[in-house]
Amino acid sequence: MARLTVKEILDKAVGFFKEHQLTNPRLDAEVLLADILEMQRIKLYVNFNRPLTKEEIDRYRELIVARSQGQPVAYLLGEQEFMSLDFEVNSNVLIPRPETEHLVETILEKIDQNDEEKIRVADIGTGSGAIIISLIKLADKKVQGVGIDISNTALELAYKNALHHEVAGKIEFKEGNLVQPLDEPVDMIVSNPPYIPTNDLEDLQEEVKQEPSLALDGGADGLKFYRQIIKQAAKKLTEAGLIAFEVGIKQAEDVADLLKQTGFKEIEIIEDYAEIKRVVLGRL
Q: Is 201 exposed, middle or buried (0-12, 13-18, 19+ CB in 10 A)?
A: middle
Question: What rounded mean pLDDT belongs to the chain?
Answer: 96
- DSSP, collapsed to helix, strand or coil, labels residue 283 as strand
Q: Is 208 left (phi over 0), alpha (psi -120 to 50) or beta?
A: alpha
For residues 89 and 154, what is the distance between their CA atoms, to the nearest angstrom? Answer: 9
Which of 1.20.120.530, 3.40.50.150, 3.30.67.10, 3.40.50.720 is the CATH number of 80-283? 3.40.50.150
What pLDDT score does 192 carry? Answer: 98
- DSSP, collapsed to helix, strand or coil, labels residue 105 as helix
Is residue 142 scored above 90 in pLDDT?
no
Q: Measuring CA to CA, which residue among 175, 190, 191 is closest to residue 120?
A: 190
Residue 195 annotated as lining a ligand binding site: yes
Q: Measuring CA to CA, which residue among 104, 67, 112, 63 is closest to residue 87?
A: 104
Kindly state the helix (H) or strand (E) to which residue 34 belongs, with its residue range.
helix 25-37
**Is residue 154 within 8 Å of residue 93, measured between CB atoms?**
yes
pLDDT in tens, 202-222: 999 989 999 999 999 999 999
- 226 phi/psi in degrees, rounded to 5: -60, -45
Residue 84 annotated as lining a ligand binding site: no
What pLDDT score does 221 carry? Answer: 96
pLDDT in tens, 84-105: 999 999 999 999 999 999 999 9
Residue 192 annotated as lining a ligand binding site: yes
Is the C-alpha dihedral spanning 44, 48, 54, 57 positive or negative?
positive
Is residue 2 scored above 70 in pLDDT?
no
Residue 217 annotated as lining a ligand binding site: no
For residues 60 and 47, what is the distance between their CA atoms, to the nearest angstrom? Answer: 16
Residue 49 annotated as lining a ligand binding site: no
pLDDT in tens, 152-170: 999 999 999 999 999 999 9
Residue 129 annotated as lining a ligand binding site: yes
pLDDT in tens, 233-256: 989 999 999 999 999 999 999 999
What pLDDT score does 63 carry? Answer: 98
For residues 70 and 57, what is the distance between their CA atoms, to the nearest angstrom? Answer: 20
Residue 149 annotated as lining a ligand binding site: yes
Q: At what angle do helices 130-138 and 98-113 cross, to 10 degrees?
A: 40
Is residue 1 scored above 90 in pLDDT?
no
Domain edges within the chain: 6-69, 80-283
**Is residue 279 within 8 Å of residue 244, measured between CB atoms?**
yes
As a whole-number percent, the residues of the chain with pLDDT over 90 amount to 94
Strands 277-283 and 237-246: antiparallel
Residue 193 annotated as lining a ligand binding site: yes
What pLDDT score does 100 carry? Answer: 97
Residues 6+ apart with CB under 8 A from 48: 5, 6, 7
